[in-house]
Amino acid sequence: MLFSFLLSLGLIFASAQVSPAQVKSTSKFSRIEQPLSLRLLVTLGGLGLIGAEGWWFLFSKTKSQRASTSQGIQELEIVVDGGYTPDSILVNLGQPVRLNFLRKDPSSCLEKVLLPDFHKALDLQLNKTTSVEFTPTQAGEYTFHCGMNMFRGVVKVQESN
């Protein structure tokens, strides 16, 4: 996502660069006059893309989902498919947590999940659920991510009240 965001930024700058280069062209090559409306359209299109992606970045994050407690364990299923759903998990401090990763995505990128703060590394098998258990002992936000750190999620540990 970040990449395509930068790409569209680059496109904007590239299209802005076009006109000075054309002015320099020799008499042999007659300058192609692009209609202003077309250039405007391209620029506006690009700006629209940037806006849309910026919006996606800021606001489309899934809401935090609270793990449900049964028999003293806070448990939640996380679907691994082009990322993690949900990617923001709320748990209580000092109570065991079990996260069940269901991997639906065949890409090797997502075959590993690392929870560095809890010293956990999981190998996920396709179409199977792999569980991890840990007990958070400090409030805070702890990220988990794929083997190459391209997809991320966060475990938010809150003081229980």
What is the nearest approach in angstroms of Cu ion to the Cβ of residue 36?
44
Whether residue 103 contacts residue 110, with contact meaning beta carbons closer than 8 Å, is answered with yes
- Is 1 a binding residue for Cu ion by CB under 5 A? The answer is no
Whether residue 147 contacts residue 114, with contact meaning beta carbons closer than 8 Å, is answered with yes
Between helix 36-59 and helix 2-23 the angle, nearest 10°, is: 160
Encoding tokens for residue 135?
């007990």
- Residue nearer to Cu ion on the CB measure, 6 or 148: 148
Name which position in 16, 47, 121, 148 contacts Cu ion (CB under 5 A). 148
Helices (H) then strands (E): counts for the chain: 2, 11
- Residue nearer to Cu ion on the CB measure, 124 or 157: 124
- Residue nearer to Cu ion on the CB measure, 8 or 107: 107
Whether residue 146 contacts residue 109, with contact meaning beta carbons closer than 8 Å, is answered with yes
- Residue nearer to Cu ion on the CB measure, 46 or 101: 101
Window of 1-9, 85-93, 96-104, 150-158 that interacts with Cu ion by CB under 5 A: 150-158
Query: What x/- string results for residues 108 through 137 when contact with Cu ion is judged by CB under 5 A?
Result: -x----------------------------
Encoding tokens for residue 11?
């496109």
Name which position in 16, 121, 139, 150 contacts Cu ion (CB under 5 A). 150
DSSP 100: E
74: amino acid identity, one letter: Q
Residues forming contacts to Cu ion in the complex (CB under 5 A) are 109, 146, 148, 150
